[in-house]
Amino acid sequence: MKSFKEFWPFYLSEHSNATNRRLHFCGTLLVHLLLIWIIVSGQWKYIWIVPLCGYAFAWIGHFVVEKNRPATFKHPVWSLIGDFKMFYLMLFRKL
């Protein structure tokens, strides 16, 4: 795949199960909340928890619910962008 535009339909196909999408949403929401808390409180020593929380929800969604491999293994940057795009589309009820 040569572009995110080309990657996006593949990303959505890997997240076709609604429970998997909801788990991703929860993980990405927690990432946002943790980042806000860390920035406001200055507790930078907890920054390592951010990816742990985000990936924990996503990987449960893939390995347990969807029974596939996370796209992040082959396309880490596009997958991260896809996570945030899917989160905001779900947040604004466009997906």
DSSP letters of the chain? --SHHHHHHHHHHTT-SHHHHHHHHHHHHHHHHHHHHHHHHT-GGGTTHHHHHHHHHHHHIIIIII-S--GGGT-HHHHHHHHHHHHHHHHTT--
pLDDT digit string, tens, across residues 21-68? 999 999 999 999 999 999 999 999 999 999 999 999 999 999 999 999
Please state, in angstroms and rounded to a whole number, the distance separating the CA atoms of residues 95 and 89: 5
Listed residue (70, 92, 94) closest to 11, CA to CA: 70
Give the predicted TM-score (pTM) of the model.
Answer: 0.93
Dmax over Cα atoms in the chain, in whole Å? 40
Q: How many domains does the chain have?
A: 1
Residue with tokens 């924990």: 56
| Residue 1 predicted with pLDDT over 90 | no
The predicted structure's pLDDT at residue 92:
98
The boundaries of the domain holding residue 38 are 4-91
The predicted structure's pLDDT at residue 32:
98
pLDDT digit string, tens, across residues 15-28? 999 999 999 999 99
